[in-house]
Structure 1
Amino acid sequence: MTAPSASPWWTPHVHADRRPFLLARNRIKAALRRYFEAQDFIEVETPALQVSPGNEAHLHAFATEAVGPDGASSPYYLHTSPEFACKKLLAAGEMRIACFAPVYRNRERGPLHHPEFTMLEWYRVGETTEALMADCAILLQTAAEEAGSTRLSWRGHAIDPSLLPERLTLAAAFERHAGIDLLASLSPSGETDRAMLADAVRAAGMRVAVDDTWSDLFSRVLVEKIEPHLGMERATVLCDYPVAEAALARRSPADPRVAERFELYACGVELANAFGELTDPAEQRRRFEAEMAEKARVYGERYPLDEDFLDALASMPEASGIALGFDRLVMLASGASRIEQVLWAPVALPEPGR
């Protein structure tokens, strides 16, 4: 006997259950817009159609095509982030920009994932990631206040958003939660040593497959040993990522093995990803090509490079930028348990056999 399917989101009683979360979403968005306006940010809009959806190995895009009046077609993609367009605007002369952008990621569905979601991105020209960390602390508290709460919560975990986030380096996190010396597997210039990390991972009692790359092992330790502990008493800023795990971030002037990248966590949930932006087009091209070679190895496909973006990068000033999963922030502030509860009109799951 086939189990009955869940009622559609537009069913009145389902919508009535979701409506408090949706109204909280609107209040939070309005408050964050007020914050950025008070900080002299310009709100911008970016196109979803791009010649490249982004060049990170493990992100999957939706493909389409543009057909001209003559019938000729060109491949396009729905963007996985508004980042390329935003950086072109910085090259054009904008100094502080923010946007709430619908973005699209394939192969993603779950309590925290949806194929179409809203990314809040903002950029500060001439400022460091320290300014972005300060923004994050204010946004967490603002979101909770607008939701009528004094905490952020997810699956039994709750934090006080008025507390300043803990700052934790990847090296310290690997040592604290896995007993692994991460930096020992990096050369002075940031090149990775797969054999050394594999030995450390085995010693920590974790599995190592023959075909695991250094990046595979890094991600396994991060997901299994570290992320479950992040943002549990207060939010966590996880910073100083190895250069090999920061394709769009510049190297740290204090340690060339790591990059100016941080991620924000609350209640074990990743909320945001920030970079001290890389502005060297040759280095960016090299990193993109390496990412696409890895994508071809793992998934058998690669995405084109946005040559227009690489040209613009040469004119882009020093800046810091961050992408925050707006829907996830609303979830934690409002107490929602699934991302569909905070989306006004979720994408319906296809029925089996249809």
Structure 2
Amino acid sequence: MQTCPVKARDVLMRSVRAFFYARGYTEVETPVRLETPCMELHIDAEPSGDHFLRTSPEIFHKQLLAAGHTRIFEIGKCFRSGERGPLHHPEYTMLEWYQTDADYMDILEETRDLVSRVWNAVSNDWKILTVSDAFREFAGWDPAGNYDEDRFDIDLVDRVEPAIRAMGGPVVLKDYPVEAAALSRVKPDDPRLAERWELYIDGVEIANAYSELTDPVEQRARFEACAAQRQAMGKTVYPIDENFIQALEKMPASGGIALGVDRLLMLMQGETSLDAVLPFRS
């Protein structure tokens, strides 16, 4: 039996906060309106006067890690321009958290604990596939060392994600080509790959996690490459946030994750569209 989405969201938020409080996390609030959005190739920020609305709180969270905070989380509104559909809204609720002295696999175990805590009905059988294995099996090629962005994106949507959907339950796709993980640390044993994973539940992408890149020189180079690509695509090119780059010089090794609260609630409610769990639509 479905619960009123307003009440269901309240229950979910209380459970999420209780989980992190019990683990010694500090809840933080960071700016929603900012001068410099985090630059990613296919994510466009919503203008707000001479500023932008955030697409993620990530750049501020990493500055907090650099300042000495070790376990932080935030539940807050984020925005993306031009995104609208059953699984996309221009305004959405993001849960993002970071832990120092952790990597992406530590965050995976914590995510498994969180999801099982807030959603008793979800399967405990989490399937884990590398991107290389998934693409070899379902798309007939390995993007590691042979990365082609257009081919990768098309095959991910048309071949790999339908196969993940058919598996049902939680499926983790991990170890992405380094070209597809602009903010992630490279795997020390294979420089073709980045320490990134994504979580799907019943075929719906729920979360994106990294071992965080802490090299300011490499991060600047990646932002500059992204800026050149965005310019070639006719997209707005955002300036590089110098405070963020400087923070990376002091940021310890960390793992972090962004999880879509609205999508999780949608699945928990047995719905197939975000419209069913959003009482107000922007």
**Correspondence list, 1:111-122, <5 A:** 111-122=86-97
Conserved in 2, the CA contact under 8 Å of 1:21 and 1:336? Answer: no
1:39 is aligned to 23
- Rounded to whole Å, the distance in 2 between the matches of 1:326 and 1:216 is 29
Q: Secondary structure at the match of 1:230?
A: helix
- Rounded to whole Å, the distance in 1 between the matches of 2:98 and 2:73 is 7
Conserved in 1, the CA contact under 8 Å of 2:181 and 2:194? Answer: yes
Deviation at 1:184, TM superposition (A): 5.1
Name the Cα RMSD after superposition: 1.5
- Rounded to whole Å, the distance in 1 between the matches of 2:236 and 2:13 is 36
- Rounded to whole Å, the distance in 1 between the matches of 2:245 and 2:278 is 34
1:129 is aligned to 104
**TM-score between both structures, scaled by the size of structure 1:** 0.76
1:84 is aligned to 59
Conserved in 1, the CA contact under 8 Å of 2:198 and 2:207? Answer: yes
Conserved in 2, the CA contact under 8 Å of 1:295 and 1:301? Answer: yes
**Correspondence list, 1:1-354, <5 A:** 20-65=4-49, 75-145=50-120, 150=121, 161-183=122-144, 185=146, 192=147, 214-230=148-164, 232-347=167-282
User: Which protein is bigger by CA-based radius of gyration?
Assistant: 1
Conserved in 2, the CA contact under 8 Å of 1:174 and 1:180? Answer: yes
- Rounded to whole Å, the distance in 2 between the matches of 1:178 and 1:82 is 34
The one-letter amino acid paired with 1:170 is V
- Rounded to whole Å, the distance in 2 between the matches of 1:299 and 1:271 is 29
Conserved in 1, the CA contact under 8 Å of 2:134 and 2:160? Answer: yes
Conserved in 2, the CA contact under 8 Å of 1:249 and 1:259? Answer: yes
Give the fraction of aligned pairs with identical amino acids, expressed as a percent. Answer: 43
Conserved in 1, the CA contact under 8 Å of 2:5 and 2:279? Answer: no
- Rounded to whole Å, the distance in 2 between the matches of 1:264 and 1:344 is 26
- Rounded to whole Å, the distance in 2 between the matches of 1:288 and 1:129 is 22
- Rounded to whole Å, the distance in 2 between the matches of 1:247 and 1:253 is 16
The one-letter amino acid paired with 2:149 is S
The one-letter amino acid paired with 1:280 is D
The alpha-carbon distance between structure 1 residues 268 and 100, as it changes in their structure 2 partners (threshold 3 A), is same
- Rounded to whole Å, the distance in 1 between the matches of 2:276 and 2:118 is 16
**TM-score between both structures, scaled by the size of structure 2:** 0.95
Q: Secondary structure at the match of 2:233?
A: helix
Aligned length: 280
The runs of at least 4 aligned residues of structure 1 exceeding 3 Å deviation read none
- Rounded to whole Å, the distance in 2 between the matches of 1:313 and 1:217 is 32
Conserved in 1, the CA contact under 8 Å of 2:196 and 2:208? Answer: yes
1:211 is aligned to none
Q: Secondary structure at the match of 1:182?
A: coil
Deviation at 1:19, TM superposition (A): 6.8
- Rounded to whole Å, the distance in 1 between the matches of 2:144 and 2:78 is 34
- Rounded to whole Å, the distance in 2 between the matches of 1:260 and 1:218 is 18
